[in-house]
Amino acid sequence: MHAAASPPAATSEQDAAIVIDRVDKFFGNVHALRSLSAKIDYSRLTGLAGPDGAGKTTLMRILTGLLAPDAGCVTLAGFDVVKDNDAIHVASGYMPQRFGLYEDLTVMENMRLYAQLRGMDTGQHADLFARLLDFTRLAPFTSRLAGKLSGGMKQKLGLACALMARPRVLLLDEPGVGVDPVSRQDLWRMVQALTGEGMAVVWSTAYLDEAERCDSVLLLNEGRLVFDGPPSELTGRLKNRSFRLEAAGAQRRAILAEALDLESVGDGVIQGAGIRIVLRADAEMEQIQALASRVGASLTPVPARFEDAFIDLLGGGPGGTSALAEHLPPVELPSDIAVSCRNLTKRFGDFVATDNVSFEVRKGEIFGLLGPNGAGKSTTFKMLCGLLKPTSGEAHVAGLDLRRAPGAAKAQLGYMAQKFSLYGLLSVHQNLEFSAGVYGLDSATRRKRIEEMIRIFDLHDWLSAAPDSLPLGHKQRLALACALMHHPPVLFLDEPTSGVDPVTRREFWTHINGLARKGVTIMVTTHFMDEAEYCDRVAMLYRARLIALDTPDALKRGAASTDRPDPAMEDAFIHLVETSALADEVKAGA
C-alpha cells in the first residue's frame, strides 16, 4: 500500500504514520507537553482525547509543523516536522478548530484555493472535486458562501479542503464541535472511508463517545500521555462497575446529587428517567444498593463506556452538591408556566426559519431544543429570549409578553451564549461587576451577590485575570455566574458545553440540576445527545417545524426497532429526522 511512497526514513518506521519521541513543549512557565512519546499508524483512526488544557491542540500544532517542540522529535510520514517542514505540509492535511475557511468565498472557491495551495494542477480538479463533493454531499451548495453554511456543512467543507491532494496523514482538530448527530454521522462515514484507503487520521476531541469509536486512542492529561491503545482496553478495566438506576422518575436529580456525594460513587449522569452510576475502583456496592432500595429504584449492571473509564482515570467526577443552588432562594412565579410560545413564526424574506411553533414549559423544567444544523433551533431560541422579533405569534417569559414588556421580561431571564461571550477586554471581576450592574442590582445587593459568586465558583485567584486566560472550566463558571447574578427564574443556555470536556461538563450539570430543583426553568439548545438526556422534555425541530415534543425516554422508545431494541438518544434523533424527511417526500410526491 505504501510502497509508492519512499520517504527518506528508515524502513522500520515505515508502518508508523507519526512517531512522537519524548516531546516537550513550554509556553513561558507552562509545561504544555511532558516527555510525550507515541506512535500513530496508517489505515487507522486515532483519537486524541483529554480534558481541556491537556495539550491536545499543542500536540496537533506540532504535528502540522506550526509549532516546534522544545525537546524531542516528531516524524510524520517519515519527515521530521522541524527539518522537513515543507514536506510535512505536503504529506499532511490539517483542519484547524475554527475551520480555516474563508467565509466570504463560496464552497467551490474554498476548495479550489486549497487544491491549488497543495499543488494540484487544474486538469485533475474536475474528477477529484466531483468525488469530494459527492463524498461530503456538498454538491448542491457549490456556489454558496462558506459563511452562510451551517456548522455541520462547514466541518464537511473543512474536511474536503484538508483532503485536497490526498494527504497521507489527516489531522482533525475537534471536528465534532457544533455538529448535529446527522452531520456527525456523515463525518464518521467519510473518515472511515479514508482510513479504509490507508490514510492515517488523527481526530482530536473532547467528546468521549467520539473517542470510543476510534480504532486507537491517545489520552492526554496535563501534558502527559495517560493511555495509549484501543478504547476497549481502557473500558475493560471498568468491568462490573457501571450501573443504571432505573425508574428514578421525578426525584432523579435529587437522587443523583445524593449518589454523587457517596464515597463509593465515582461518577454519575442522568439518562432520561434513569441514572447512570460508576463506582470507584474496589468500592463496595452496599451504599448504592441502600440508596436504590430506599428510593425504590432498581439497580442493573450496564456495560462500561469509554467516558466512564476516562472519568475514572482522572480520579472521578465532581461531587453532586451544587453550592450555587443552595444559595439561591426558591423561585416564585405567578403561574406554573415559565416559558410559552404560541404560533411562533419567523420569516427572512421568502425563507421560513421557524414555522408556527407552539409549546409551554413548566416552572422548574429542563427543556431541550434539538434539531439538525439549520433547522430553525437558534432562530426559535433567539425569539424566546428577545434577540429576534417574531414575524407572527407570541412568546412569553415568566408570564410577560416579550413584545409588550421587553424590559420586564428580559429582567426575568438569564442567558449564557455559545462560547460564553464574556468581555475579553475586562477582567473577571469587572465582568461580574458589569453583569450585576446591567441587570440593575443596587450596590449593596451587587456587592453581596458578587462575593457570593466568587465564593461559590472559586474565582478568587482569577479576579484580575482576563477571561480568555482562564482554564475552560473556570471560564464556564464565570459565564454561569454572570448569567445568574440577578437570580433569574428562567435560564437560557445556548449550546452551553460545546467543545467542553466531560469533567467540566459534569460540574456544569451538577449546578444546572441543582438550579432546576430550586424551581429555575432551564431552556437549553444542544448538539450533544448526552446533554439531551438531562432534559425533562425535548422539542425536536426540523425544517422550521416542531416534529416531536416528549421526554427523552419516550423519544428513544419511539425509535426502537427489532434490530435496535434499546436505541441511544442519537439514534432517536436520526430516526426522527429521517421519518420526517420521508413524510415530506411522500407529501411532495402526492
Partner 1 sequence: MSCHDFRTMLIRLHAQFIKELLCILRDPRNRVVVFVPPLLQLLIFSYAATLEVRNVDIAVYNQDTGREAQEFVWHLEAARFIAQVHHVHSNTALREQLAQGKVIAAITLPADFSRSIAISGSGHVQVLIDGRRSNSGQIVMGYLSSIARDIRFTADTLPVPETSIAVRHWFNPDLDYLWFIVPGLTGTLAFFSALMITALSIARERELGTFDQLLVSPASTLEIVLSKSLPALVISTLLAFLMIAMAIWFFRIPFTGAFGLLLIGLVLFVLSAVGIGLVISAISMTQQQAILGGFVIGVPTVLISGFATPVENMPVLLQWLAQAIPLTHFLIIIEGCFLKALPPRDILDHLWPLAIIALAALPMAMIFARNRLQ
Partner 2 sequence: MKDAYARENSVTVRRFDPARFTALVRKESLQAMRDPSTLLIALVLPLILLFLFAYAVSLDVRHVRIGVVLESSGAVAQTLADAFSGTRYLDVTFAHDRREVAGKLISGELRGYVVIPQDFERHFANTGKPLVQIITDGSQPNTADFVANYAQGVVQNWTASLSGSIPVPAIQPEPRYWFNPELASRRALVPGAIAIIMTIIGTLLTALVVAREWERGTMEAILSTPASVLEILTGKLLPYFALGMLSTLIAAALAVFLFDVPLRGSLCALLVLSAVFMMPALGQGLLISSLARNQFLASQLALFSGYLPAFMLSGFLFEIDAMPAPVRAITWLIPARYFVSSLKTVFLAGDIWGVFIPDLLGMAMIGLMFFLIAQRYTRKNLE
Question: For binding to partner 1 (CB under 8 A), which residues are involved?
Answer: 348, 385-389, 406-408, 410-411, 413, 415, 417-419, 421-427, 430, 433-443, 446, 492
* CA triple 413-418-419, angle to 5 deg: 125
The minimum distance between CB 165 and partner 2, in angstroms, equals: 6
Query: Coil, helix or strand for 121?
Result: coil
User: Quick check: 163 and 93 in contact, CB under 8 A?
Assistant: yes
Contacts (CB under 8 A) with partner 2, residues 154-193: 161, 165-168
User: Quick check: 92 and 62 in contact, CB under 8 A?
Assistant: no
The minimum distance between CB 477 and partner 2, in angstroms, equals: 25
* Partner from partner 1, partner 2, none contacting 417, C-beta within 5 to 8 A by type: partner 1
C-alpha cell at 545: 417545524
- Sign of the dihedral defined by the CA atoms of residues 433, 435, 440, 446, in that order: negative
- If one asks whether residue 96 binds partner 2 (CB under 8 A), the answer comes out as yes
Cα distances (angstroms) measured from residue 492 to each of 112, 416, 512: 40, 6, 11
Contacts (CB under 8 A) with partner 2, residues 195-214: 197-198
The minimum distance between CB 114 and partner 2, in angstroms, equals: 7
Applying CB under 8 A, among 4, 126, 586, 590 the residue interacting with partner 2 is 4
The minimum distance between CB 381 and partner 2, in angstroms, equals: 25
User: Quick check: 575 and 587 in contact, CB under 8 A?
Assistant: no
Applying CB under 8 A, among 37, 119, 455, 582 the residue interacting with partner 2 is 119
- If one asks whether residue 97 binds partner 2 (CB under 8 A), the answer comes out as yes
**Contact range with partner 2 by CB under 8 A, out of 103-111, 273-281, 285-293, 351-359:** 103-111
C-alpha cell at 367: 427543556
The minimum distance between CB 141 and partner 1, in angstroms, equals: 22
Cα(311)–Cα(317) distance, rounded to whole angstroms?
Answer: 6
* Partner from partner 1, partner 2, none contacting 109, C-beta within 5 to 8 A by type: partner 2
Query: Coil, helix or strand for 352?
Result: strand
The minimum distance between CB 46 and partner 1, in angstroms, equals: 33
* Partner from partner 1, partner 2, none contacting 156, C-beta within 5 to 8 A by type: none
User: Quick check: 494 and 378 in contact, CB under 8 A?
Assistant: yes
The minimum distance between CB 326 and partner 2, in angstroms, equals: 40
C-alpha cell at 332: 416564585
Burial 465-502 (b: 16+ CB within 10 A, else e): ebbeebebbbbbbbbbbbbbbbbbbbbbbbbbbbbbbb
**Contact range with partner 2 by CB under 8 A, out of 88-96, 278-286, 288-296, 434-442:** 88-96
* Partner from partner 2, partner 1, none contacting 66, C-beta within 5 to 8 A by type: partner 2
Contacts (CB under 8 A) with partner 2, residues 412-471: none
Sheet holding 216-221, edge to edge: 92-95, 169-173, 200-205, 45-49, 216-221, 224-229
Applying CB under 8 A, among 15, 30, 37, 68 the residue interacting with partner 2 is 68
Neighbours of 16 (CB within 10 A): 19
User: Quick check: 520 and 326 in contact, CB under 8 A?
Assistant: no
227/415 with CB nearer partner 1: 415
96/223 with CB nearer partner 2: 96
Applying CB under 8 A, among 25, 112, 377, 505 the residue interacting with partner 2 is 112
Applying CB under 8 A, among 42, 46, 99, 262 the residue interacting with partner 2 is 99
Cα(277)–Cα(290) distance, rounded to whole angstroms?
Answer: 14
Applying CB under 8 A, among 86, 284, 286, 585 the residue interacting with partner 2 is 86
Q: Comparing C-alpha atoms, which of 410, 431, 426 is closest to residue 478?
A: 431
* Partner from partner 2, partner 1, none contacting 590, C-beta within 5 to 8 A by type: none
* Partner from partner 1, partner 2, none contacting 64, C-beta within 5 to 8 A by type: partner 2
The minimum distance between CB 390 and partner 1, in angstroms, equals: 10
79/492 with CB nearer partner 1: 492
Applying CB under 8 A, among 62, 91, 107, 398 the residue interacting with partner 2 is 91
The minimum distance between CB 62 and partner 2, in angstroms, equals: 12
Contacts (CB under 8 A) with partner 2, residues 229-248: none
* Partner from partner 2, partner 1, none contacting 410, C-beta within 5 to 8 A by type: partner 1
* Partner from partner 1, partner 2, none contacting 348, C-beta within 5 to 8 A by type: partner 1
Backbone angles phi, psi at 570, to 5 degrees: -60, -40
User: Quick check: 130 and 136 in contact, CB under 8 A?
Assistant: no
Q: Comparing C-alpha atoms, which of 63, 74, 99 is closest to residue 201?
A: 63
Cα distances (angstroms) measured from residue 170 to each of 95, 201, 210: 8, 5, 17
Residue 352 burial class via C-beta count within 10 angstroms: exposed 0-12, middle 13-18, buried 19 and up: middle
411/554 with CB nearer partner 1: 411
Binding site for partner 2 (CB under 8 A): 1-2, 4-6, 64-68, 86-87, 89-92, 94-105, 109, 112-119, 121, 124, 161, 165-168, 197-198
